[in-house]
Amino acid sequence: MADYREMWSELGLDLALHDKLCAALPPLFEEAFLHQKDRPSGMDYFNMVIAEVHGLRIKELVDHKRNGGFVVGSFCVYVPEEIVLALGGLMVGLCAGSQFWVPEGEKVLPRNLCPLIKAAIGAKLSKTCPYFQSVDLVVAENTCDGKKKAWEEMGRLVPTHVMDLPNRKSKEGMDLWRSQVRELIKRLEDLSGRKLTYEGLMEGIRKVEAKREALRGLYETRKADPVPISGIDSLVVSQIAFYDDPERFTSMTNQLVQECRDRVSSGFGVFPKGTKRILLTGSPIVVPNWKVHHILETSGASVVVEENCTGTRYFKGSVDTSPKDLEGLIDALADRYMNGINCACFSPNQGRLDDVVELAREYKVHGVVDVTLSFCSTYQVEEGALKRRLKEEGIPLLCLETDYAPGDEGQLRTRVEAFLESL
Amino acid sequence: MADYREMWSELGLDLALHDKLCAALPPLFEEAFLHQKDRPSGMDYFNMVIAEVHGLRIKELVDHKRNGGFVVGSFCVYVPEEIVLALGGLMVGLCAGSQFWVPEGEKVLPRNLCPLIKAAIGAKLSKTCPYFQSVDLVVAENTCDGKKKAWEEMGRLVPTHVMDLPNRKSKEGMDLWRSQVRELIKRLEDLSGRKLTYEGLMEGIRKVEAKREALRGLYETRKADPVPISGIDSLVVSQIAFYDDPERFTSMTNQLVQECRDRVSSGFGVFPKGTKRILLTGSPIVVPNWKVHHILETSGASVVVEENCTGTRYFKGSVDTSPKDLEGLIDALADRYMNGINCACFSPNQGRLDDVVELAREYKVHGVVDVTLSFCSTYQVEEGALKRRLKEEGIPLLCLETDYAPGDEGQLRTRVEAFLESL
């Protein structure tokens, strides 16, 4: 690996602490990924991306900024990357998946808050995330209480623009959201000194749609039995979608998809035919949080689809590109986000229950595992409705709550094994 | 006390369980209230209201319904009582303040949720709250995550209408809220078979404004040193405002205010002049949650003002009654709620910090106590901003987290005593 210490130093990282973080990742990745059998060779690229997670991509961001571009960080699938790309920016998902940052986050946030939010703030406070150090602006969003209120702290640490979401998908809620998309455009126009054009936005939409289409292709191959790719490999591809160069990501994912299709054609899979197939749903699962996938797939199950923000919600629904004027296209873009993504921050959120049932049928799963992060109230309360719906549909459900701290793997594994035996 | 068992039975209460609840309240009330010295004689009425909390007032609700009226239950100061009154209904705050209901609520809600929400659901599930059993409709509101999502469960137990609130007080957020006020009007028009008129709404506004004015008068007297009334007595008056007959409440409160004014004139108080004066802020404190006030005022302090939903937020701001048409008056009503109430569910919520500082000056307090309910993330995250602001202003702050379970009184008292000594 190249030596990035000078770059990290220029970005203001706490190098000593960052070294500790960097030392922790490879063994974690090795245990979760490299011990798998028969991985597609197309995963080599994604292995490299993880190995270079704080190196190569950061250098690209730095170079992009040197060439007059800007970089936006985000924490949510509601932030429209199309607009960022259209205005000559790059968007990256920010660091929020490791226990490493949680204690630092707890210095300014209550302990009784979801680990993702504490890690997000902790990553910035501890100066150990080169993505955070590279962004010109964080584009945050009012989804859950924890995030909404934590942005008030975030805004003290880094320039932050907050998009307001409604709590219900109503006509008035949609009006609010469309206004927020326009506010973001204005903010990014100010930041970039550019003006959003119809052609620019269409190009942004094309790039992001190509990325979504590649992921849809990947997921499509996971409907096969045997599955051509493990759930955890598919997960890391989805996670990387949040911060890799969009066109390179699309190209590499399409290569992987072709390999998976070939495997499906020849009946080759990473788990034996007949392996118990699981749909995983719930809170977002961001890098390097691979805990539950790893436990499931080393306990004899295969995760074949994720109904979450690092799964189908990332690519569900396309932007209607039929409007011939910029305002119409902006509305269509806003609509794709509001209609496509069924987050538990909305009430009611019937769409998610429908999505879970539909995906469970399409992917012919044996059971559903609902994974919520500790203190993620929206998903945890929604578990009641999910339980009822899946019972009606006759689909077995296991509910797991976990955070980023090690120590609960044994307990989770015991529950997973009992669930798998019952299927 | 009259025998209400037949009425309770007709309302579908679980009588055996309800008996246990009724047996628990009097000793709690006695300990918290009746041991106080020099209480204003005007508190006799409010003592009676508490003693008759499940009796007399319920009978009034039942009679009101028999006479063709309707009853609405609510959990939040955002639900406009003016509209309910204007359409011939009564509004009552629903039961959510006792540990008695928490275990039942935890059967359908996660344990990691605020006790107020668990108690609300538990009160309905356990059939021990005659208010819940009397309401034709619950008018709920999307404020925090816990409430927003719990309404999905509530809607299965009792007819529930949810008002959507924005997460930010913007122009678009205001448009959303105004539309929600109109949706409520429509729902209540359907329920009552009546049509909202300008005159009817003005009359509703007049009644509620009179109630607010009475409470403002009461709070005004608490600026005196010595204070003419204890904080816990004032608190229970505010709590009773949520469910008593508005005109009787106003009249009885005005009598109490006159008595308190006379006390101020003569320099008579319930605590010695120079007693440490406390502003209490944070999560709502609903009947029969008197824990922290009791601890503070039996530890040598005097709570002289509450910046919370059972305090100043209940009566802050008046409706602008200058519009001469119904639509204009509805907008003015909506605006009073959005502008007057600074709940931590909004981000940013700078207004609350300003309110706390302003009230601290007006009431000449020695310190502020921020009381949050466990898992009340919005207020708990906001504590960071509150700490910074009060430090800037040189106002001492104590942050307490508690729930409805007994057992933490000793620990709270120790922290309170240390804080008071430091002032």
What confidence tens digit (pLDDT) does each residue in A80-104 have?
999 999 999 999 999 899 999 999 9
Task: Answer yes or no: is pLDDT of A340 > 90.
Answer: no
The percentage of residues in chain A with a pLDDT greater than 70, rounded to a whole number, is 100
Query: Quick check: A350 contacting B, CB < 8 Å?
Result: no
Strands (DSSP E) contained in B77-117 are 89-93
Select from A151, A153, A348 the Cβ nearest to the Cβ of B152: A348
* Residue A352 host element (H or E): helix A350-362
One-letter amino acid of A183: E
Tokens of B409: 């009184």
Closest-CA residue to B359 (of B392, B393, B335, B384): B393
**pLDDT given for residue A261 in this prediction:** 98
Residues of A in contact with B179 (CB under 8 A): 172
Q: Could you give the C-alpha distances from B333 to B69, B178, B243, B245, B340, in angstroms and in order?
A: 23, 9, 20, 21, 11
- Give CA–CA dist B333/B351, Å, rounded: 19
Where does the pLDDT of residue B3 fall: very low under 50, low under 70, confident under 90, or very high at 90 and above?
A: confident
Closest-CA residue to A47 (of A222, A176, A204, A240): A240
Where does the pLDDT of residue A375 fall: very low under 50, low under 70, confident under 90, or very high at 90 and above?
A: very high
One-letter amino acid of A98: S
Q: Whole-angstrom distance between the N-terminal and C-terminal Cα of chain B?
A: 45
Q: Could you give the C-alpha distances from A224 to A290, A314, B260, in angstroms and in order?
A: 23, 21, 78
Question: CA of B355, closest CA in chain A: separation in Å?
Answer: 18
Q: Is B122 helix (H, G, I), strand (E, B) or coil?
A: helix
Select from B109, B110, B347 the Cβ nearest to the Cβ of A152: B347
Please state the rounded mean pLDDT for residues B321-340.
97
Top residue of A145, A376, A379 to mutate, by most chain B CBs within 10 Å, is A145
**pLDDT given for residue A361 in this prediction:** 98
Spatial neighbors of B130 by CB under 8 A, at least 6 apart, are B7, B8, B11, B13, B18, B54, B58
**pLDDT given for residue A70 in this prediction:** 98
**pLDDT given for residue A47 in this prediction:** 97
Question: CA of B189, closest CA in chain A: separation in Å?
Answer: 21
**pLDDT given for residue A403 in this prediction:** 96
Query: Quick check: A332 contacting B, CB < 8 Å?
Result: no
- Give CA–CA dist A274/A232, Å, rounded: 18
Q: What angle, 0 to 180 degrees and rounded to 10, lies between the N-to-C axes of helices B326-340 and B171-192?
A: 120
Question: CA of A385, closest CA in chain B: separation in Å?
Answer: 8
- Mean pLDDT in chain B? 97
Half-sphere exposure at residue B120, Cβ-oriented, CA atoms within 13 angstroms: 26
**pLDDT given for residue A1 in this prediction:** 54
Spatial neighbors of A116 by CB under 8 A, at least 6 apart, are A75, A96, A97, A283, A284, A286, A373, A376
The percentage of residues in chain B with a pLDDT greater than 90, rounded to a whole number, is 98
* Residue A290 host element (H or E): none
Query: Quick check: B176 contacting A, CB < 8 Å?
Result: yes
* Residue A210 host element (H or E): helix A198-221
Where does the pLDDT of residue A309 fall: very low under 50, low under 70, confident under 90, or very high at 90 and above?
A: very high
Please state the rounded mean pLDDT for residues B14-42.
95
**pLDDT given for residue B220 in this prediction:** 98
Q: Could you give the C-alpha distances from A117 to A157, A286, A375, B83, in angstroms and in order?
A: 14, 11, 10, 39
Tokens of A115: 């680990």
Task: Answer yes or no: is pLDDT of B88 > 80.
Answer: yes
Strands (DSSP E) contained in B25-169 are 70-74, 89-93, 137-142, 160-164
**pLDDT given for residue B37 in this prediction:** 95
- Give CA–CA dist B202/A68, Å, rounded: 59
Task: Answer yes or no: is pLDDT of A324 > 70.
Answer: yes
Task: Answer yes or no: is pLDDT of A303 > 90.
Answer: yes
Residues of A in contact with B167 (CB under 8 A): 142, 148, 164-167
Over residues A201-224, the pLDDT tens digits come to: 999 999 999 999 999 999 999 999
Tokens of B333: 């009503």
Task: Give ipTM to 2 decimals.
Answer: 0.95
Q: Could you give the C-alpha distances from A72 to A87, A195, A211, B53, B78, in angstroms and in order?
A: 11, 17, 18, 56, 36
DSSP-assigned letters across all residues of B190-207? HHHT----HHHHHHHHHH
Spatial neighbors of A167 by CB under 8 A, at least 6 apart, are A173, A345, A346, A347, B142, B148, B164, B165, B166, B167
The percentage of residues in chain A with a pLDDT greater than 90, rounded to a whole number, is 98
Torsion of CA B138, B144, B145, B147, to 10 degrees: -20
Where does the pLDDT of residue B244 fall: very low under 50, low under 70, confident under 90, or very high at 90 and above?
A: very high
- Give CA–CA dist A264/B26, Å, rounded: 71
Select from B108, B152, B385 the Cβ nearest to the Cβ of A347: B152
**pLDDT given for residue B95 in this prediction:** 84
- CB-CB contact of A42 with A263 (8 Å): no
DSSP at A99: G
Task: Answer yes or no: is pLDDT of B1 > 70.
Answer: no
Closest-CA residue to A21 (of A74, A93, A99): A99
- CB-CB contact of B346 with B168 (8 Å): yes
B381–A149 CB contact, under 8 Å: yes
Q: Is A218 helix (H, G, I), strand (E, B) or coil?
A: helix
Q: Is B143 helix (H, G, I), strand (E, B) or coil?
A: coil
Task: Answer yes or no: is pLDDT of A165 > 90.
Answer: yes
Over residues B166-216, the pLDDT tens digits come to: 999 999 999 999 999 999 999 999 999 999 999 999 999 999 999 999 999
Q: Whole-angstrom distance between the N-terminal and C-terminal Cα of chain A?
A: 45
Question: CA of B186, closest CA in chain A: separation in Å?
Answer: 16
- Give CA–CA dist B193/B5, Å, rounded: 31
- Mean pLDDT in chain A? 97
Place of tokens 């797939």: A297
Residue B301 phi, psi dihedral angles, 5° rounding: -110, 170
Please state the rounded mean pLDDT for residues A154-166.
97
- CB-CB contact of A216 with A315 (8 Å): yes
Number of DSSP helices (H) and strands (E) in chain A, helices first = 19, 8
Which residues 366-395 of B are in CB contact (within 8 Å) with A?
374-375, 377-378, 380-385
Top residue of B347, B372, B399, B402 to mutate, by most chain A CBs within 10 Å, is B347
B378–A145 CB contact, under 8 Å: yes
Residues of A in contact with B374 (CB under 8 A): 112
**pLDDT given for residue B261 in this prediction:** 98
B113–A385 CB contact, under 8 Å: no
Residues of A in contact with B168 (CB under 8 A): 142, 162, 164
Please state the rounded mean pLDDT for residues B79-83.
98
Closest-CA residue to B329 (of B158, B200, B175, B162): B200
Please state the rounded mean pLDDT for residues A124-149.
97
Strands (DSSP E) contained in B144-188 are 160-164
Per the DSSP assignment, residues forming a β-bridge with B138 are B73, B160
Top residue of A109, A148, A151, A392 to mutate, by most chain B CBs within 10 Å, is A148
Task: Answer yes or no: is pLDDT of B226 > 80.
Answer: yes
Burial class from Cβ neighbours inside 10 Å (0-12, 13-18, 19+) for residue A288 reads buried
Please state the rounded mean pLDDT for residues B401-411.
95
Query: Quick check: B126 contacting A, CB < 8 Å?
Result: no
